[in-house]
Chains A and B, each alone.
Chain A
């Protein structure tokens, strides 16, 4: 992606550029202190200070114009040197004019060379001003580009997460539609209606979810319950459920749709393949600043091997969850899927604990 930096937007505000002149004005005052009281030095210094403040305005405008028109730095430098030189010559001329108007006796005879050579009055200060202004403008442009880069990165991450989220839908959707059609074929109208309503609820929560990639655990648990109600309709008594939700976790922020793929994986590859009832364990606990989530089943069909377990661990839902965790908490999470000695299969997730704000439409 190529970004053309909008230089207008990248420029610091005009007042900030002018404020860059303040320290130089202060320097001019400090440097003037030793000569105050010597002849008319005070008047000269005040004149130069006032002129410096005056010149700063058109000088800032010029520098910004050069910056905006992308003039190369050495042409801009020459142009600014010439302009500031002209300004300081004008200062000298105005200083002489002031002396002449006030009728001050001149300490030395007027010489044209003095007018062009004696430029200590302001040139250095104006050059310093241009330099500081350039640094301020460069810094602002740098910050602007950095912010744009961060925005672009966030957008890309957002798009990837969204894609990962939608990837979860199809197989679950088709399986459920198939279950509904079976219920209709068996004339189990009430069960069919209930499953359709649950599916609607589930799709609403996933498809219409706001753009946040995280949700309060309570919302996730409610969604998982909805999902489990659909599974119970399909599996009936084969599904034994054991929840263990610890204290102080309901407001924890977790990735949207964290639990459902883990639970689905445990059901698909564990309980659904058995002929005897299977047990699903879902544990969630807070340990200080960490949140531990684990989903496990008590074993797949007899004869399962660790090779099958490895294959299972690459199931789409798990891979998807692992990728989303990596995007959301890079370097600050753990995701472990492994087969237990007793034939069961465990997925454990460890996340930083953060709290969700209270829902806006609180009950």
Chain B
């Protein structure tokens, strides 16, 4: 269980975070605070793992709250802000991500993923080795798709990138796009990670199809695939993408 606190001076904004968190089974909201001072006291008393904290609050800003906490008291912070320039300073204070208002569900999930990944390293009792889920013995190399009423098979190496499209995943090839009834999260687990990398909550690219990577001012990046398609990569995934690109010898 991830223990979470929410700090925002607007009740509606707090309930927005709480409602989104309700969709996740592994989180527990331990406190909600409407101002900096009570948040400071609450965080010290309850020591949550993660705090969603609004940057712009009267009297005491979210950054002030984080700055007032001693390093060992600071939870992993996910900042909520209307302006991204405020968020950058917060990375000094154990912030792991920031969410811009209005909050995007995909970004929200990404930020929570980051916290979830970092949690075992953060908890002191987790000195024991962290068990990663066993990778499947073999990676999926082809997809079964429906084209009209017939079933077709698409080879993984004919797919350049994959995009989430509602309940489906759109497999983009050189000529055609096929729809596969599969979530991107599951595809990310069954595809060979040295060939396919997730670059966004809703996008997976084939690593050897990436031609250029250009950082953006909001810490995301824009990829250009060899077929001329631009694809956004969000900051959460850039590190793993760079690793995969280096091992492939691309870019």
Is chain B a partner of chain A in the same complex?
Answer: yes
List residues of chain A with CB under 8 Å of any chain B CB. Answer: 190, 193-194, 196-201, 204, 208, 216, 218-219, 221-222, 225, 243-247, 250-251, 283, 358-363
Nearest CB of B to A351, in Å: 18
The 3 A-B residue pairs whose C-beta atoms are closest, nearest first, are A197-B104, A244-B228, A250-B214
Nearest-neighbour CB distance to chain A for B4, whole angstroms, equals 20
Cα distance A251–B232 in the bound complex, in angstroms: 15
Contact in complex: B222, A197 (CB < 8 Å): no
B-side interface residues, number (CB < 8 Å): 30
In the complex, what residue of chain A is closest to B230 when comparing beta carbons?
A221
Q: Is B116 an interface residue (CB 8 A)?
A: no
For A203, give the chain B residue with the smallest CB separation. B102
- Which single member of B103, B105, B218, B224 contacts A245 (CB below 8 Å)? B224
Nearest opposing residue in chain B for A226, CB measure: B232
- On whether A247 and B100 interact (CB within 8 A), knowing A190-B105, A219-B217, A222-B220, the answer reads no
Contact between B235 and A363, CB atoms less than 8 A apart = yes
Query: Given A245-B224, A250-B224, do A222 and B216 touch, yes or no (CB 8 Å)?
Result: yes
* Chain A residue at smallest Cβ distance from B211: A247
Q: Is the CB of B102 within 8 A of A361?
A: no
CA of A133 to CA of B227, assembled, Å:
66
Task: Give the A-binding residues of B (Cβ under 8 A).
Answer: 83-84, 88, 100-107, 211-212, 214-222, 224, 227-230, 232, 235, 238
**A185 nearest CB across to chain B (Å):** 19
Q: Name the residue on B nearest A240 (C-beta).
A: B177
For B217, give the chain A residue with the smallest CB separation: A359
List, in ascending order, chain A residues with CB within 8 A of B229's CB.
243, 245
With a CB–CB cut-off of 8 A, which chain A residues contact B100?
A: 200-201, 204
Task: Flag if B228 contacts A218 (CB, 8 Å).
Answer: no
A200/B101 in contact, CB under 8 A: yes
CB of B216 within 8 A of CB of A359, answer yes
Chain A nearest CB from B212 CB (Å) reads: 5
Cβ contacts under 8 Å, B220 to chain A? 222, 363
Nearest chain-B residue to A209 (Cβ)?
B217
Q: Whole-angstrom distance between the alpha carbons of A245 and B214 in the complex?
A: 13
CA–CA, A219 to B219, complex, Å? 11
Residues from chain A with a CB closer than 8 A to the CB of B227 are: 244
Residue of A nearest to B238 (CB): A363
